[in-house]
Structure 1
Amino acid sequence: MNLHGKNRHIPGTFRSASPCAESSRSNSVQGASPIRLQLYLARCGAASRRACETFIADGRVSVNGTIVTAAGTKVNETDEVRLDGVLMRPESRRVYVLLHKPAGCVCSMADEKGRKTAASLLEPHFSERLYNVGRLDMFSSGLIIFTNDGEFAKRLSHPSSGIEKEYIVKTTVPVPAELAERFEKGIRIEGIFYKCRSADIRSSRTVHIVLVEGKNREIRRVFEHFEIPIRSLTRIRIGSICMENLAEGAFRELSEEECRLLSAY
């Protein structure tokens, strides 16, 4: 199916697809009320609900063969919904995976430059479509959560969640006390305000930093501002979930209790 043919905005609720499409959906919920398209995609494991809104706005989603760009559109579980031409079906099993991302992997579902993705480390082991909750930049390593639960991802990603993320930063030169002090108080760099919850200098070239909100490349930009080169940056904790003995490149599924604790923030 060509998703980039007739790009036409159709508001409202779509009627159900043909009986053949309905019978092909092993995970369909009969008689369910229509739901918003972005929520449907999130339940299919496409991405978080917010990311799915972007997919829709970019014209990557079709419903019953028609490109849709309005996130408020509602669909039934029997409608044929496709993302980039791939048929989306709600997944019956929710998966929550903790990965120790190696440096050199990018946090995206696909990379236009052909770089290795963190998701590719999980693909051989899970039939579900998993996506990362938040990001680590390419040169950083450490803990990152993958899931196909859009609501769970939304809760964890929202700044109001208050979930702490702890990092170990190792540098090539000694770290001045001023860096830690100003980072804790808050510092504005090129118009963006950065503030960590704590910055604990453990040795002359090792700092433990705890962030809550976490802006794009926040730690790296603060260290660059003080002209302190970073040798390695590793996330060792997300909320109450610690790295423990999880080797680089390894992963494990989160327990129900761990998911409950993360959702409780």
Structure 2
Amino acid sequence: MKPKANVLNLHDKHVSDTQPASAQAGEVRLQLYLARCGAASRRTCETFIADGRVSVNGKIVTAAGTKVSETDEVRLDGVLMRPESRRLYILLHKPAGYVCSMADEKGRKTAASLLEPHFSERLYNVGRLDMFSSGLILFTNDGEFAKRLSHPSSGIEKEYIVKTTVPVPAELAKRFEKGLRIDGVFYKCRSADIRSSRTVHIVLVEGKNREIRRVFEHFELPIRSLTRIRIGSICMDNLEEGSFRELSEEECRLLSAY
């Protein structure tokens, strides 16, 4: 699939909201600089810095508040980082069997590898889908965009189709909607709609790690397949498994409006 140009730069729109006037003049915090370079979201970049993976002018820096400018030599894992001129917002239909990680120590296939032949920019996933789940996931090189969408306060709905190997009891839907605690963690969905005896549509807002799978395991219901079909107002439509497309300007604005 040939990528099309996308000139929308949502990052610039929010610079004045996140940086003081002195920083806008040239210097910015190191984690923001890395995010603008497409390294990862700002929060993840803070982790890179704390782990000693970032150097400035040849010296390892572990303080996230360090100020840098484009005249400084900033490296992540020895790779020179420069702000990217093009911001990308990609919707991928991830197949099951791919992990949502930039690299996997076990050598498993990554979702990002499906995009690498088509883009020279470094793209990273916004949120995650576990290895055995399929469906929609966003990729970008815009750290501010990723931060806004990833924050629990964004309120962005995510809809999933869950298919099981045995009938789903009505009790699961009722308790999931009301909220239940499993191993000390509270899980609550926005809605759980049983469409057939073995098919449930579930809408999450915050979405904790492996939330749906943990709830179904609690009810001893084996999951045959789990697919995310919607992120906010962005739906699967006819996007085939393993395929991707760039978001339109309107779609980006709708996601940023949450």
What is the TM-score normalised by the length of structure 1?
A: 0.88
Cα deviation, residue 70, structure 1: 0.6
Matching residue of 2:97:
104
| Aligned equivalent of 1:170 | 163
Q: Name stretches of at least 5 consecutive residues in structure 2 with no aligned partner.
A: 1-23
Which residue of structure 1 lines up, in the alignment, with residue 28 of structure 2? 35
Distance 2:25 2:58 in 1: 21
Following superposition of structure 1 onto structure 2, how do residues 1-265 of structure 1 map, counting pairs within 5 Å? 32-265=25-258
- The ranges of structure 1 where at least 4 consecutive aligned residues each deviate by more than 2 angstroms after the TM superposition are none
Q: Structure 1 counterpart of 2:203, which letter?
A: V
TM-score (norm 2): 0.90
CA shift at 1:162, angstroms? 0.3
Secondary structure (helix, strand or coil) at the match of 2:153 reads helix
1:9-51 CA deviation, whole Å, 9 max, x = no partner?
A: xxxxxxxxxxxxxxxxxxxxxx942100000000000000000
Structure 1 or 2, whichever has the larger Rg, is 1
By how many angstroms is 1:137 displaced? Answer: 0.3
- 1:119 aligned counterpart, secondary structure: helix
Give distance in 1, aligned partners of 2:61 and 2:94: 35
Q: Which residue matches 1:16?
A: none
Identity of aligned residues (%): 92
Which amino acid is the alignment partner of residue 113 of structure 1?
K
RMSD: 0.8
- Deviation, 1:175, is 0.4
Gaps in structure 1 of 5+ consecutive residues: 1-30
How far off its partner does 1:61 sit? 0.5
Q: Once the 2 structures are TM-superposed, how far is the Cα of residue 228 of structure 1 from its aligned partner?
A: 0.2
* Contact 1:32–1:77, Cα closer than 8 Å, also in 2: no
Secondary structure of the residue aligned to 1:125 is coil
The residue aligned with 1:5 is none
Structure 1 residue 259: Cα displacement: 0.1
Query: What is the alpha-carbon distance in structure 2 between the residues aligned to residue 168 and residue 98 of structure 1?
Result: 18
> In structure 2, what is the Cα distance between the partners aligned to 1:231 and 1:211?
19
User: How many angstroms apart in 1 are the aligned matches of 2:78 and 2:128?
Assistant: 26
